[in-house]
Chains A and B, each alone.
Chain A
Amino acid sequence: MAVILRLEGLTKRFGGLTAVDAVKLSVAENSVHAIIGPNGSGKTTLFNLISGAVEATQGRIVFDGQPIERQPAHARARLGIKRTFQNIRLFNDLSVLENVRVGQHPVAITGFSSLYRIWSAQERAQREAAMEILASFGLESLATRQAGELAYGPKRLVEIARAVASAPRLLLLDEPTSGMNPRESAEVVAAVRKIAARQMTILIIEHHLPVVKDLAERVTVLNFGKKVAEDTPAGVLSDPAVVEAYLGSSAEA
């Protein structure tokens, strides 16, 4: 299977703190790959490094054969890397539909030229595509609602819809089920499964281990910023080092 993302010796230091320590990782194309680890193990920082929210101190990030560690976040989105955030960052004063349309930016015509394309056929097609994406998540009735007013579960779904709106090659989901009750969790998992069935590579940070077992084909375990294990879900969850890392600190199972 082709490797779509490769991290080599990826390191991030914040002053005296090493959040990510020489991480080496290969993600297979069109697979679902989970990153797990106790709180503070560097998972979100790893995502921030991949998406470009934060600049690496050292190491390489190779996406589709191209090194991207020097590229700013918006350029990486245009290359096909999209993400959701741990604490859901929607554009709260915009409508649900507008949020998804922003998600289409990497594949839309923007800037000055967008001024005279408002009523073009392409724009109309993209609006319809945005509605279709909402519909595929069961959210079409919420299209005109203000994003900030939604309940937690639908908010997360909108955020995921926004991320997939540009048909990205790599989708980073940062704890998509965090803070959710079982019903909401199940909805999110179902949505992710549907996305995984299309041609998309998903990298997911998850604390709920059943979700990991359910969705992921491969799991990487981080602790203190270092990779400590990598295997199939079953293999990783029976690895004594992993069990120790989790039971040695607080985590949900």
Chain B
Amino acid sequence: MFSVFADSVLIGIGINMLLALGLYFTLATGQFSVGHGGFMAIGAYAASILTVNFAWPLVPAVLCGGVAAFAIGVLIGLPVLRFSHLYLAMATFGFGEIVRAAFSVVDYVGGVGGMRGMMGTTAPIVLGLVLAAVAFSWLHSRSRWGLACDAIRQDEDAAAAMGIDVRLNKVLAFGVGAAITGVGGGLYAHHFYFIEPTTFGLHMSVAIILFVIFGGIETFWGAMLGAAVLSLLPDLFRFLKDWYLFMYGLLFVLLMIFRPQGMLDRAALRALRKKLWR
């Protein structure tokens, strides 16, 4: 079947897709999270504690990690999402850092030294979870819930005037996004067998953001595309080693100047659909 290397690449792409999809849900209601690494960390540590210390099987543990991330997401989102997007951006910025700082001082999970002992994950499991997340995202995009999110994204006041509970939708979307990213985090921990607090810091949050803004912020397919393409780049551009982040930074700036909506926007998606269904 697949070689071990190919398996590893697929798993890496799958995990990144989950991370990106999670962030997409936050963007879906026009909100912005600069600290999704924090939810990834929660999912990673929760799942690892369950498998390593309590001998849970992988999938339930990872799903539990998602639930933990959902709970924290809702906890933060409820008070903060009442106000303008700036507050969520700042709160998530702080949240990402506080999670990193907090896990560094908790000895139960290894503190700064990190946590190890996780068993591996397999490509079928990862792909299965990715498919589930994609199915959920697709249903969301076609449903009235997705329509409500779109409306909120365009104009919150008009959406409220049409009967949409803006705050509830924003909190729910934020929570769901946190959960999906948390599941990605759980799989990440079991793929790399080792996690430490700095893994999930701002650089990780920024990488996740880049997946989505590069691929396309208007539909969930964009997040998938961005995750897939940017997952493969490190292998193709190995010579850039130390200048990685520099290139990422440059990509951010160039994207925002020349194509802020990302590669795959609604128009491109429609054109693609027309070509495929010919």
**Which residues of A line the B interface, CB within 8 A?**
51-53, 72-74, 77-78, 82-83, 85, 89-94, 98, 101-103, 105-106, 108-112, 114-118, 123, 162, 166
Contact (Cβ within 8 A) A73 B145: no
The answer, yes or no, to whether B122 is at the interface (CB within 8 Å) is no
The answer, yes or no, to whether B7 is at the interface (CB within 8 Å) is no
Kindly report which residue of chain A lies nearest to residue B166, judged by CB atoms. Answer: A74
**Contact sample, A vs B, 22 pairs, CB 8 Å cutoff:** A51-B161, A53-B157, A53-B160, A73-B161, A74-B163, A74-B165, A78-B163, A85-B161, A91-B155, A93-B154, A94-B151, A98-B147, A102-B147, A103-B162, A105-B148, A105-B163, A106-B162, A109-B144, A110-B148, A110-B164, A123-B144, A162-B162
Q: Which of A83, A102, A112, A123 contacts B164 (CB 8 A)?
A: A102
Interface SS, B side: helix
Assuming A89-B155, A91-B151, A92-B154, is B160 touching A77 (CB within 8 A)? yes
The answer, yes or no, to whether B266 is at the interface (CB within 8 Å) is yes
**Which residues of B line the A interface, CB within 8 A?**
136, 139-140, 142-145, 147-148, 150-151, 154-155, 157-166, 172, 218, 266
Assuming A77-B163, A110-B148, is B158 touching A85 (CB within 8 A)? yes
Tell me how far the C-beta of B160 lies from the nearest C-beta in chain A, rounded to whole angstroms.
4
Distance of A34 Cα from B158 Cα, bound (Å): 22
Distance of A101 Cα from B159 Cα, bound (Å): 12
Which 8 A-B residue pairings sit nearest by Cβ, starting from the closest?
A77-B163, A106-B163, A114-B144, A73-B160, A114-B143, A91-B154, A89-B158, A105-B163
Residues of B contacting A101 in the complex (Cβ-Cβ under 8 angstroms)? 144, 147
Given contacts A105-B164, A109-B144, A110-B164, 15 further A-B contacts (CB under 8 A): A53-B161, A91-B154, A92-B154, A94-B151, A98-B147, A98-B150, A101-B144, A102-B148, A102-B162, A105-B162, A110-B148, A112-B145, A116-B139, A117-B144, A118-B139
Contact (Cβ within 8 A) B160 A91: no
Contact (Cβ within 8 A) B163 A166: yes
Kindly report which residue of chain B lies nearest to residue A81, judged by CB atoms. Answer: B161
Tell me how far the C-beta of B165 lies from the nearest C-beta in chain A, rounded to whole angstroms.
5
Residues of A contacting B161 in the complex (Cβ-Cβ under 8 angstroms)? 51, 53, 73-74, 77, 82-83, 85
Contact (Cβ within 8 A) A91 B158: yes
Kindly report which residue of chain B lies nearest to residue A72, judged by CB atoms. Answer: B160
Residues of B contacting A52 in the complex (Cβ-Cβ under 8 angstroms)? 160
Q: Which of B140, B144, B161 lies at the interface centre, i.e. has the most chain A CB atoms within 10 A of its CB?
A: B161
Q: Which of A52, A109, A110 lies at the interface centre, i.e. has the most chain B CB atoms within 10 A of its CB?
A: A110
Distance of A134 Cα from B157 Cα, bound (Å): 23
